[in-house]
Amino acid sequence: MHPYRHALLSALDALDAAFAAEPALPVTGCAYRWGEEHFAELSGPLDALSEETILGVAMEVSDHWNDFPRLYRRLTPLLVRRAVLGGEHGVPADVVASRLREAGCLESAQGLTDALRAVGAAWWRAVLHGEVRGAGGNPDAGEALGVLTVASGTVRPWLGIWAATRTPYADALLAEYIAQLPYSVGISATAGGTTIRVTTRDARSRPGCSATCGTGWTASRPTTSWRSTRCAARSEAAGPRGAGGRGLREPRRPPLRAP
């Protein structure tokens, strides 16, 4: 077995153990979409749930349940396993990520959040080494990065892992990802390693700004550090708050992936 896939499966098993103590609850919800037999099934043991029901819960909106946070927290190991492994019974990882945030699963007990983050890190490393396959083949690195960012609320650790993964496959994923970006990327070699600079630009002229406005971040390998940069150039005539006294509107950074 490939080592990174093995690490992912071990992390998923640890996630099962961490959430094993989550108690069952009487589930009710939208009677238009769900029947009493479904509520009874969801109120029973997890190993008796059908794949159809698991997928239905993964895709259902939160306000169709009487206690969405508790229900989703209880089903988290089942949903996460299917999201990251894909296959015949896979569920959309981006949907699961947004529901995890909505249910507050990453603000639960420390042991539960640690187990979830461990799965995220193991999955990301497996993606970067080509050792996991979804229903449509190897998951797109940009999509996986978006899923992890939505689930965790931060992009920093995932970019750090990518910057530290020095393999031809990970570099090929990076080149493919960069080619799809709507902003400029510069890669340069330095004495300390490789520096990747990503900058969004708005080429339109702005009153009160004497240079192209932009936001960006920089990653350096092997020691990775990320920093935001902003253009603060303003003409003296416009004053410190830009033309009309309203200030410069900072350019919007395109999302890595919409949830």
| φ and ψ at residue 184, rounded to 5 degrees | -85, 150
Q: What is the pTM of this model?
A: 0.70
Q: In the numeric block, which tokens belong to residue 68?
A: 């969405």
DSSP codes joined into one string, 133-166:
-BTTBSPPHHHHHHHHHHHHS-SHHHHHHHHH--
Interatomic CA distance for residues 215 and 89, integer angstroms: 40
Q: Report the SS3 class of residue 178.
A: helix
**pLDDT computed for residue 89 by the predictor:** 76
Q: Assess contact for 64 and 28: CB atoms under 8 A.
A: no
DSSP structure class, residue 240: T
Rounded CA separation 138/124 (Å): 12
The one-character DSSP state at 49 is -
- The confidence score (pLDDT) of residue 86 equals 81
Domain ranges of the chain: 3-164, 183-245
Contacts of residue 166, defined as CB under 8 A and 6 or more positions apart, other chains included, come to 221, 222
pLDDT in tens, the chain (259 residues): 589 999 999 999 999 999 998 889 999 999 999 999 999 999 999 999 999 999 999 999 999 999 999 999 999 999 999 999 887 778 889 999 999 999 888 777 788 899 999 999 999 999 999 888 654 455 678 889 999 999 888 999 999 999 899 899 998 888 888 887 766 555 555 555 555 565 554 444 333 333 333 334 444 443 333 333 333 333 333 333 333 333 333 334 344 443 3
Backbone angles phi, psi at 27, to 5 degrees: -95, 130
SS3 of residue 233 by DSSP: coil
Instruction: Say what the pLDDT of residue 195 is.
Output: 56
Q: Cα(90)–Cα(193) distance, rounded to whole angstroms?
A: 38
CA dihedral (85, 86, 88, 89) positive or negative: positive
Place of tokens 């947004």: 98
Query: Which secondary-structure segment (H or E) carries 194?
Result: strand 193-202
Closest C-alpha to 187, from 153, 146, 219: 219
pLDDT at 189: 52
The CA distance from 59 to 238, in Å, is: 50
Q: CA 200, CA 216: separation in Å to the nearest integer?
A: 6
